[in-house]
Each structure stands twice: as C-alpha cells, then as structure tokens.
Amino acid sequence: MSPAPAPPERPATAAGPPDPVAATGVAALARGVLAIRWAVLAWMLVVVANAAVSGRGTGLGVAIAAVATVAVWVTWLTFAGPPRTTRMLLADLTIAAALVVVGARQPWFATVYPVTAALAWGAARGVGGGLVAGGALGLVSFVTGLTIPDQPVSAQLIGSLRDPVNFLLAGGGLGFVATLLDRSAAQVRAAQVEQVRATERAARATERESLGRQIHDSVLQTLALVHKRGRELAEHPQVDGAEVGRLADLAAAQERTLRTMILRRPDDGPPDDTRTALRDRLDRAADAVAVDVDTAVTVVGDIRLPAAHVHELGAAVEQALNNVVRHAGATHAWVFAEIADDQVVVSVRDDGCGFAFDPDALRATGKFGLLRSIQGRAEDLGGSVRVDSAPGRGTELELRVPVPTGAQRNTGERSGHRRTDQGHDRE
C-alpha cells in the first residue's frame, strides 16, 4: 500500500490563507502521525492474531471488531489525508475514546493507538487542541479505570492517572511543535516580505541614481553650456544669429531627451547581447562636448563590447570631457582606450590647470557630484575610477572595468583627432 496523504492545512485566519511554509511543516508532522498509526495497527494485528491462535485472549470478538474498525479508519486517512476538519478530528477522537474503553478491560491489544488521536489534534490545532484531545481521552481513561473491578484502590488510581498524563503530554507536546512551526513560518514570511521590499527599495534607488546620472550627463551639462555661451554672447554687441540658433537647437534637443527619460520604461535599455564598437561611442562623446578644446581619441584595436558597457563608458567619458571644457581651462584633451590585463581601460587626460584632488573636501563643498556619477557608472560594470591631478599639471581620469564575456578585440591601433573649429581631422 502506498500512503499518499494530502498536506494538512490550518484554517485560514483573518490574517490571510494558510502559510505554505507552515503547511509544509505540519504536513511532515501529519505524515509522522500516520506512520505511527500504521505501526500501532500492525502491532494490534500481531497481538490479536497471537491471541486467536493461542486461545489466551478474552473478548476476542470485541478485539477483532476494534482492530477492523481501526484498519478501515487508517486506510481511509491514508488516501483521504490526515484529519483537518473538526468533523474528522471528532471522529478520530471518538474511535480513540472507544479503544480506551475497550482496552481498559483488555489492555493486551489497544493501549497505544488512542495516543495518535491526541497527536493528530496537536498537529492540526496546536497546543490548545492537543491538550483538549489529551484531556478528553485522559478523562475517559480515568473514569473507565475506576470502574475496573477486583483491583486495589491504589492500583486503580495509579493506572487511571498514567494514561491521562501520557495523552496530555503527547497532544500538548506535538501541539507545541506545531505552534513553533507556525511562528517560524511567520518569521520566514516576514523576512521574505522585508527582503522583497528591500530589493524594491534598492531597485528604485538604483533607477533614481541612473536617471540622475543621465540628467546630469545630458540635460544639466547642456544647460550649463547654454548658460555659459549665452553670457558670452550677451557681452558682445554683435550677436551671431547662427550661434543663438545653435543654442536654441541644443535646448530643444535636451527637452526631447528629458521627455524620453521620463516616458521610458525600465526595460527600454540597450540589450546586453548587442556588440557595439567602443570607438564609435567615444567619437560621439568627443563630438558632443569638444568646444574650444582639441580632443584626440585613440583606441588600441577594434574593441567591441555589449551595448550597455559601451553606453556607460561613453557617457562617463562625455561627463569627463564636459568637465574639462567647463573647469580645466585646457587647450587639449586626450581620450585613450585599450584592453589590458583582462580589463577595459579608458582614460581622459587634459593639459588644464589641474586641482588638488581631495574627495572629502569636494564632498564638503558640494563638488563631488560629477565624480560620484562617473564612479557609479564604473561600479555598475564592476570596475573602478582613478583620478590623478595636481595644480598646474592637468588631470587624468582613468576607468577600469572587467572585460565582459563575449567582448571582441581586433589587434591594431586606430586614432583620431578632433578640433572644434575644423571638424574631424583624422590622423
């Protein structure tokens, strides 16, 4: 026979449906109780068969009827599932109480099975249910024991108290275990909910940081450029209409960019499995920001990376070049990229005024936003950023990120040179 008990379920409470973690633990308890039922039934069959063969048992007919009833009940529970409803539990308790009465006068065959009813109540109803069932069986056992004739009063009391104690311990003990399982399941569920919430908070924070970087990269940088060029034009009596139109075009382009950022879905990013040439993105970064500064782009080999990597590295370079234009006072800037020691190395160097690089001081003065944004991009790719600068000797910013799986590199060197007032001038 192949037992196939259905998992027991606690009744749904006001807090919601039964917890699946708790149901799994209670199901294990129920399977254990069912195994005990079969073991006890087997022992009862052996005892009754031995009594029938030897002819030593009294009330053999009652014993056979009781064993048959238990066999039918256990078989039904095996296929229908352990007792869960109040009706099933009461039926189980009634059969156990009847065996207590029968076993009081013929203890040679029905002394253990009633304990399984107390265990079932404890598994299904917790400590309270186990104690109630154990107390009910104990009361039946106590009253029945006092009615047995031809026994000393002391023996009757001891015999009548022994079984009630066992029933109470069995029902209450397993009920306590079931209650602990419920509490543990509630703690696990609370931890899972908190983990989900923490993950959602982290995802929202990451999305906000990413959006902030993009706004800083494009919108804020362009607004700063418009502000700078606008003031410069305001100082000249003759304003170039073409230059004003260019500034208007920049503002309109950034308006479109900002709208796209706001309306974009989280899954609209570039696919990671698309290979893109790093050189092309660095060229676009130099074209976008090289104002009044000669910018040279050099890439060792034809480096092709996943689109997400190329986007982040290109945006970081664009930020760095923007900073060169706005603050460095440089006349030349150099962008260099290569793959070395299983890392993609991208550096931006200028011949500007340089500065004393002190992260703490930059944070204190609110000037760490640019570097934090670039660091965030590198760290998102598993890499890091190094800054080398000093007053009077320019600045070098270097990004190092691990080479992603599937990156392609063809040997050979390609270089380029850009001058803002002459357009592209490849060397």
Tell me the pLDDT tens digit for each residue of 74-121: 888 888 877 778 888 898 888 888 888 877 666 555 667 888 888 888
Which long-range contacts does 340-344 make (Cβ < 8 Å, 24+ apart)? 342/402, 342/403, 343/383, 343/400, 343/401, 343/402, 343/403, 344/278, 344/303, 344/305, 344/309, 344/313, 344/383, 344/399, 344/400, 344/401, 344/402, 344/403, 344/407
**Domain end among 195, 216, 244:** 195
Q: Mean pLDDT, the chain, as a whole number?
A: 75
For 283-293, write each residue's pLDDT tens digit.
888 887 655 67
Structure tokens of 92? 């189980």
Q: Are residues 153 and 288 in the same domain?
A: no
Looking at the domain assignment, is residue 165 inside a domain?
Answer: yes
| Dist. CA 391–CA 355, nearest whole Å | 4
Express as a percent the part of the chain with pLDDT over 70: 66
Domain housing 347: 274-424
pTM of this structure: 0.44
Looking at the domain assignment, is residue 32 inside a domain?
Answer: yes
Q: Are residues 291 and 417 in the same domain?
A: yes
Q: Are residues 188 and 297 in the same domain?
A: no
Looking at the domain assignment, is residue 135 inside a domain?
Answer: yes
The radius of gyration of the chain's CA atoms, rounded to the nearest angstrom, is: 41
- Maximum mean pLDDT: which of 96-100, 162-166, 219-223, 297-301: 297-301
pLDDT, greater one: 119 or 418: 119
Looking at the domain assignment, is residue 370 inside a domain?
Answer: yes
Confidence of residue 70 (pLDDT cuts 50, 70, 90): confident
DSSP-assigned letter for residue 149: S
Structure tokens of 99? 């065996």
Residue range 307-321: average pLDDT? Answer: 87
For 347-405, write each residue's pLDDT tens digit.
999 888 888 777 777 666 666 666 777 888 888 888 998 888 888 888 899 999 998 87
Q: Are residues 29 and 157 in the same domain?
A: yes
pLDDT, greater one: 38 or 27: 38
Looking at the domain assignment, is residue 259 inside a domain?
Answer: no
Residue with tokens 């068969």: 49
Looking at the domain assignment, is residue 200 inside a domain?
Answer: no
**Residue 401 has what pLDDT?**
92
Q: Are residues 72 and 182 in the same domain?
A: yes
Residue of 371, 320, 328 lying closest to 351 (CA atoms): 328
Please answer whether residues 344 and 313 qualify as being in contact, where contact means their C-beta atoms are separated by less than 8 angstroms.
Answer: yes
Residue range 317-339: average pLDDT? Answer: 85
**Residue 347 has what pLDDT?**
92
Domains held by the chain: number: 2
| CATH number for position 393 | 3.30.565.10
Looking at the domain assignment, is residue 48 inside a domain?
Answer: yes
Sort 241 into a burial class: Cβ within 10 Å, 0-12 / 13-18 / 19+. Answer: exposed
